[in-house]
Amino acid sequence: MTAHSRSKKRLAREAAEERASRMAYVGTLASGLAHEIRSPLSSIKLNLDLLREKLAAVPEAQRSEFESRLGLIAREVDGLQELLTEFLTFARPPKMQMMATDVNDLVSQVIELAMPECERKHIEIVRCFQKDLYPVALDQHQFGRGVLLNLLTNAREQLGEHGTITLRTRERQDSVEIVVEDNGGGVPEDLEERIFDLFFSTKEHGTGLGLAIARRICQEHGGDLVLENRPGHGASFIARLPKSRILEYDSGESLRSKDADGSEHEPPEPQ
Ligand SMILES: Nc1ncnc2c1ncn2[C@@H]1O[C@H](COP(=O)(O)OP(=O)(O)OP(=O)(O)O)[C@@H](O)[C@H]1O
Ligand SMILES: [Mg+2]
């Protein structure tokens, strides 16, 4: 195969991956929105039923008009509920493409994406990576963009025109953690509980979807996303991923990175 056709193939594969990750993102957004619409619709339906029960109290002259208008609203609400059910079935995000991943590599790739805008805003990015991390199974596009890039973007937006974002990686007994830390003042204490809510935003043009999606993706990986807040100083968001048991029994090449001398590390004993 020529170098030209290899690079064409690589570009096509990257474009397909990009499309798949965008679809996954849109799917998560759409189903989040559909869930949010569902509960006010149920409440409309409930109140409508209560009003219909009181029709007998409406004066005779207006009763049939009330009845037909309430009936019309009820049919529309039923239609919308059906549409939402169908839509939720259709928009379920695609299955995750899990791959054994060196988290340090993935974080570095995402830093590259965020770097130009950070440089423009005089924001420094500091890496504190634990060497030779245990590999984790994750969907690199969903986790890279939906979690890491969202957290980096929030940190940058919080910092404004200057500041420092520190990316840490570290291994715990059962998990690998990625910490996105900034020195931008942190989250006001009374908002700590709300920032992960769908559509909660304090920004003029924010949709309030970023953290809700990021947490959902972490949870779909069997992990979690938590805030370690230092009000007045800064915020750290900790994405926690479980060490995968599948990888421990992988019979292929050792997934641990190699030392400079080429010697490999064995995965640790199952916990
Ligand atoms: N690093 C941070 N420091 C302080 N507050 C933060 C930080 N990250 C998020 N927040 C708060 O959490 C809120 C919700 O964040 P989220 O990412 O869900 O939505 P958004 O950034 O406002 O909008 P979107 O991500 O959809 O553009 C933000 O509006 C902000 O108030
Ligand atoms: Mg955001």
- Can you tell me the distance from the alpha carbon of 211 to that of 154, in angstroms, rounded to the nearest whole number? 9
Per residue in 71-117, pLDDT tens?
A: 999 999 998 988 887 777 666 666 788 999 999 999 999 999 999 99
Report pLDDT for 85: 78
Atom of ligand 1 nearest to the CA of 206: 23
Residues 6+ apart with CB under 8 A from 260: none
pLDDT tens digit sequence for 259-270: 333 344 444 443
- Across the range 231-260, mean pLDDT stands at 68
Angle between helices 150-159 and 210-220 (to 10 degrees): 150
Q: What is the pLDDT of residue 185?
A: 96
Would the CATH topology of 3-90 be identical to that of 98-248?
Answer: no
- CATH placement of domain 3-90: 1.10.287
CA gap 28, 255 in Å, rounded: 30
Fold of 98-248: Heat Shock Protein 90 (3.30.565)
Spans of all domains in the chain: 3-90, 98-248
Model confidence pLDDT, tens digit, residues 135-190: 999 999 889 988 999 999 999 999 999 999 999 999 999 999 999 999 999 999 99
Query: Cβ(211) to ligand 1 under 6 A?
Result: yes
Q: Is the CB of 154 under 6 A from ligand 1?
A: yes
Return the pLDDT at 6: 78
Atom of ligand 1 nearest to the CA of 209: 26
Ligand 1 neighbourhood includes 210 CB (under 6 angstroms): yes
**What's residue 268's pLDDT?**
40
Cα 60 to middle of ligand 2, angstroms: 55
Closest alpha carbon to 165 in 209, 121, 224: 121
